């Protein structure tokens, strides 16, 4: 995927500092992830008034009372998916589209679900403008996944869930990985879950985190 030079030129120094300080400096080592996050113009996915802070290691507000996650968390979640370029990935919560772009740089195909129509429309336009052709979009309640497009090699959830829903596990291939923030509304634990068999999973906690709650998520 080619990124317009005008974005690379203006924010190149900020992007390099993000890579060195917020990603490599905090233990992100996957070459695929680092290359993707160096390439994707994060400033395109935040409101214009917030663009000067696009590469700071902070979450930033976007429309519909949602946020774009801080670069470190995006890097950490993407690295945990262990992408090699052959995977079919389901993303629950398109949001700004930034995480979608990072996934699309590495994975074979990305299926992204968002329930807020303004967010999905804006993300779709930005991602189209940047030339991504390996993404499919769905305006829907992602709490039930996207069954007709499954099964998936990887699933990533970008909003807080009280628990991992059974629909996600059912739509994940055996041997596949799911990464999600699980817990209460105020604070969660980022976890990755490997599907060992049709009936068995293994969950591993990563770090504490704070995501916006998934809207209309099942109780």
Active site residues: 69
CA dihedral 28, 42, 113, 195 (to 10 degrees): -10
Tell me the CA distances in angstroms from 34 to 5, 17, 27, 71, 128, one per residue in order: 19, 12, 11, 11, 22
d(CA 158, CA 214): 8
Buried b (16+ CB within 10 A) or exposed e, 7-28: beeebeebbeebbeebbeeeeb
d(CA 9, CA 166): 45
Peptide bond just before 32 cis, omega within 30 deg: no
CB of 54 within 8 A of CB of 11? yes
């Amino acid at each position: 995927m080619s990124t317009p030079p005008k974005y690379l030129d203006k924010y190149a120094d900020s992007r390099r500092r993000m890579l060195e300080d917020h990603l490599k400096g905090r233990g992100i080592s996957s070459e695929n992830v680092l290359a993707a996050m160096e390439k994707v113009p994060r400033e395109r996915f935040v409101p214009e008034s917030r663009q000067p802070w696009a590469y700071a290691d902070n979450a930033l507000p976007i429309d519909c009372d949602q946020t774009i996650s801080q670069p470190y968390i995006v890097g950490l979640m993407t690295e945990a998916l262990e992408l090699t370029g052959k995977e079919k990935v389901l993303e629950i919560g398109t949001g700004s589209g930034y995480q979608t772009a990072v996934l699309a740089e590495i994975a074979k195909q990305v299926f992204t679900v968002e329930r807020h129509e303004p967010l999905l429309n804006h993300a779709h336009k930005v991602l189209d403008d940047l030339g991504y052709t390996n993404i499919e979009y769905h305006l829907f309640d992602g709490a039930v996944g996207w069954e007709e497009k499954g099964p998936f090699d990887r699933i990533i959830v970008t909003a807080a869930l009280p628990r991992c829903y059974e629909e996600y596990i059912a739509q994940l291939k055996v041997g596949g990985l799911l990464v999600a923030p699980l817990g209460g509304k105020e604070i969660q634990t980022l976890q990755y879950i490997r599907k060992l068999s049709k009936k068995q999973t293994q969950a591993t906690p990563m770090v504490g985190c704070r995501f916006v709650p998934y809207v209309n998520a099942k109780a």
